[in-house]
Amino acid sequence: MSFWKKKDNLIITALVVLFFAGLTVWLDLCCVNAAFYSSSTLNPSQVPFIDKDEKALTLNSFQGKPLVVNMWATWCPSCVKKMASFHRFTEKFEAAGGVVLNISQDRSAGSVRAYYARSSFHFPLYLDTTGQLLDAFNGTGLPTTIFIDSSGQEVGRIRGGFDWDSPEAAALVQKYFGLTLTNK
């Protein structure tokens, strides 16, 4: 009996093909491919992203206040795992006078709205469906969080998962912006 006529061999072959196809899609979605491209020449402050009403905004729209820009996605396991602590951090940071932009890299607002509703998060909805903002910041993966001072200059960044409830988060805010986070 030939190899392809055996039922078990066909099933195993199909599973291997599906595994590698899934792995290829997952790697592309997780922005791993961004690490292989050259640095962007785009100015991040001028790259548009959209709000819940599909109105185009730029980072210049928020200049004048300390700004934390968190780029994430609903399909990013590390992003989702740390989102509850980031939500608590956002409340403290905004109470201290800063602004947080939680900008999703998802392709549509529907999945982000559903995730916010399931999780009882109250972030304003912002989308960068093209990935150009992440690229302009030379981001190589998600989550990426950028700290921007009131004059619009990047003063720091965090790549990957981070415990936003930690003393280190409060220390970074103090270091970069001179703000003190209070516990609610």
Averaged pLDDT of the chain: 88
- What pLDDT is stored for residue 164 in this prediction? 96
Residue of 66, 100, 88, 60 lying closest to 174 (CA atoms): 66
Of the pLDDT bands very low, low, confident and very high (cuts 50, 70, 90), residue 177 is very high
C-alpha separations of 107 from 31, 39, 50, 62 in Å: 13, 23, 11, 23
C-alpha separations of 86 from 2, 28, 80, 90, 92 in Å: 57, 25, 10, 6, 10
Q: Residue 131: pLDDT above 80?
A: yes
- What pLDDT is stored for residue 4 in this prediction? 54
- What pLDDT is stored for residue 14 in this prediction? 83
Residue of 56, 24, 68 lying closest to 127 (CA atoms): 56
Q: Which two tokens stand for residue 71?
A: 């780029």
- Please state the rounded mean pLDDT for residues 94-109: 96
- What pLDDT is stored for residue 41 in this prediction? 79
- Please state the rounded mean pLDDT for residues 72-78: 95
104 vs 18, more confident: 104
Question: What top-level class would CATH report for the domain 40-177?
Answer: alpha beta
| Domains of the chain, residue spans | 3-30, 40-177
Q: Residue 28: pLDDT above 60?
A: no
- What pLDDT is stored for residue 180 in this prediction? 95
- What pLDDT is stored for residue 54 in this prediction? 92
Residue of 21, 136, 17, 131 lying closest to 76 (CA atoms): 131
